[in-house]
Amino acid sequence: MPDLVPQWAAVVPVKGGPQAKSRLALPGAARSDLANAFARDTVAAVIEALEGMPVLVVTSDPAATSWVATGGARLVPDPGLGLDAAVAAGCRVAAGDGATRIAVVLGDHPALRAADVRVALEAAGRHPAAVVPDADGLGTAMLTLTVREGESTAAVRTAFGAGSAAAHEALGHVRLDLDLPGLRVDVDDARSLAQAVRLGLGPHTTRALARATVHGVQATIHRIADDGSGSALLDDGVEVDLPPDAAQRSGLRHLRVGQRVSIELDESGAAATRVWITGIGPGEDIH
């Protein structure tokens, strides 16, 4: 779609830092690493979508700024006033560079593919402003808007946050419920991460997830049967299955409800492949 290139620009806000993706039940460093990987895969897909389309990454996170320029995007400093202000900052730069159509995609779509972006832009291009809701139908996966020649970007209004899909509809964006799961799955918790895993993660997230699961995620035993089967609650409240052999692999025989454990999740993110307690069992010596 080369005719789209001169008018479209993309804005990708990236929060980053130790507070990013706080609903994922991982240590702060692992969460930060994973959030950074989500953003890299998102930006890579957007860059690949339309050759020549400017992609502006709005962030002040040092980990993100280190890869933005080398990845083919342009860095815009985050003013630090929240997500809507970050989007506005990106829109100002994009409009100043001559873009008349802007697509906003948050940096948490690790299963995003370039084809998803192309289809979404083609559909959104039929409307002055559009919103593609996330998989739950409540949040915003992509927001598109028009910046008219001579119009100040101060007139651009967005409403990111809880219930943003409906809020953007109220602002005049046409709702587009597109069948694009790679775009519509944004990752905030274990459930949405499992959805993204099933769709197929980008390379950066695949590597980061492997690094994170080496150390396990923290959980609390929720149900336990005599054979060792049951379930555990991740720190974000998601319940995952415990097959009977998951604890036995670590030499554990007497788990109890309420006990804190480390678990390794399978590819679906819905079941444990291993359960252990630091310092107990093979490879868990305390030095």
Output the known binding site for phosphoenolpyruvate: 140, 161, 164
The answer to whether the CB of 20 falls within 8 A of the CB of 62 is no
Q: What's the Cα-to-Cα distance from 279 to each of 29, 31, 240, 282, rounded to whole Å? A: 22, 23, 23, 9
Supply φ then ψ for residue 188, to 5 degrees: -125, -20
In sequence order, which residues have a C-beta less than 8 Å from that of residue 25 and are 6 or more positions away? 190, 217, 218, 219, 234, 235, 236, 238
Rounded-to-integer distance, Cα 210 and Cα 171, Å: 41
Which helix (DSSP H) or strand (DSSP E) does residue 272 occupy?
A: strand 272-276
The structure tokens 């400093």 sit at 77
Can you say which residues are annotated as belonging to the binding site? 140, 161, 164
Instruction: Give the SS3 label for residue 165.
Output: helix
Contacts of 184 (CB under 8 A, 6+ apart): 132, 133, 134, 135, 141, 178
Element (H, E) at 241: strand 239-242
Using the structure block, give the residue that is written with the tokens 């587009």.
176
Q: How many CB atoms lie within 10 A of CB 273?
A: 14
Residue type (1 letter), 151: E
The residue assigned the tokens 């339309």 is 50
Q: Which is it for strands 8-13 and 55-58: parallel, antiparallel or unpaired?
A: parallel
Per the CB < 8 A criterion, the answer to whether 45 and 117 are in contact is: yes
